[in-house]
């Protein structure tokens, strides 16, 4: 059975839980306190070279880290990664976009707000992150105005990855009221019958 090294408030860990739930793939959880930086010093840290969540340990003992890498691996030969090579490339493109422009902006701002560190950050840093996040969300809105999901006509791991942080824009002080296609997509993802609530209290 797969083991997921997890911390429930982590949106990156939520991505993996969501895909595992979609796939009805049995797994066991081991929890670490990643947001308090306990993960790097825990018994789980040697699983990979960084020590953050999520990490999956496969049945044969091999280990994968980085949430989008795990999504890519687990989605092989499933409905959540299309077969067509071009569409697969588009999925990979949006996974990269999420890591480069959403985790580093909305993700950071949300994390700092959650941990009470937002007021400790320089205002120009916060402004830069919000500006980049706004540009990224505007790109998503433009794309989603032409298709129901981000990489294709069907829901994929690209939607799981992007939803994880993008839907938290308001928590990061970013309004999305002027992005109707984006907000409609958030509602579509939430409305799925197999949607897992993504938020858990910091603990």
Q: Measuring CA to CA, which residue among 66, 71, 131, 68 is closest to residue 101?
A: 131
* Euclidean distance between the first and the last CA atom of the chain, given in angstroms as a whole number: 26
- From first to last of its 203 residues, what are the pLDDT tens digits of the chain? 999 999 888 899 999 999 999 999 999 999 887 555 444 444 544 455 455 789 999 999 999 999 999 999 999 999 999 999 999 999 999 999 999 999 999 999 998 988 889 889 999 999 999 999 999 999 999 999 999 999 989 999 999 999 999 999 998 889 999 999 999 999 999 999 889 865 554 43
pLDDT at residue number 69: 97
User: What secondary structure does DSSP assign to 154-175, as a single string?
Assistant: S--HHHHHHHHHHTTGGGGT--
pLDDT at residue number 51: 56
Give the CB-side neighbour count of residue 191, counting CA atoms within 13 A.
6
Question: Token pair of 22, please?
Answer: 């979609």
85-190 matches 2-74 in CATH topology: no
Question: Beta strand pairing status for 2-6 and 27-31?
Answer: parallel
Question: At a CB cut-off of 8 Å and minimum separation 6, what does 194 contact?
Answer: 21, 22
Q: What is the CATH number of domain 2-74?
A: 3.40.30.10
- Domain spans of the chain? 2-74, 85-190
No. of helices (H) and no. of strands (E), the chain: 7, 4
Cα 13 vs. chain centroid, distance in angstroms? 7
CATH topology (fold) of 85-190: Glutathione S-transferase Yfyf (Class Pi); Chain A, domain 2 (1.20.1050)
d(CA 108, CA 104): 6
Q: Report yes or no: 153 and 179 within 8 Å, Cβ to Cβ.
A: no
């Amino acid at each position: 059975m797969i083991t997921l090294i997890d911390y429930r408030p982590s949106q990156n860990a939520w991505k993996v839980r969501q895909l595992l739930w979609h796939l009805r793939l049995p797994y066991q959880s081991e929890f670490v306190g990643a947001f308090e930086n306990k993960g790097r010093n825990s018994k789980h840290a040697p699983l990979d070279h960084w020590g953050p969540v999520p990490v999956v340990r496969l049945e044969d003992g091999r280990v994968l880290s980085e949430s989008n890498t795990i999504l890519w691996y687990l989605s092989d030969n499933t409905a959540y990664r299309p077969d067509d090579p071009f569409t697969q490339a588009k999925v990979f493109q949006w996974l990269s976009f999420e890591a480069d422009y959403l985790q580093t902006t909305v993700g950071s701002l949300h994390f700092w707000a959650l941990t009470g560190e937002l007021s400790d950050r320089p205002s120009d840093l916060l402004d830069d992150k919000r500006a980049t996040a706004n540009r990224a969300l505007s790109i998503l809105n433009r794309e989603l105005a032409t298709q129901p999901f981000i990489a294709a006509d069907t829901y994929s791991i690209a939607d799981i990855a992007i939803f994880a942080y993008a839907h938290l824009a308001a928590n990061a002080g970013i309004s999305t009221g002027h992005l109707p296609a984006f907000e409609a997509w958030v509602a579509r993802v939430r409305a799925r019958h197999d949607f897992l609530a993504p938020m858990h209290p910091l603990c």
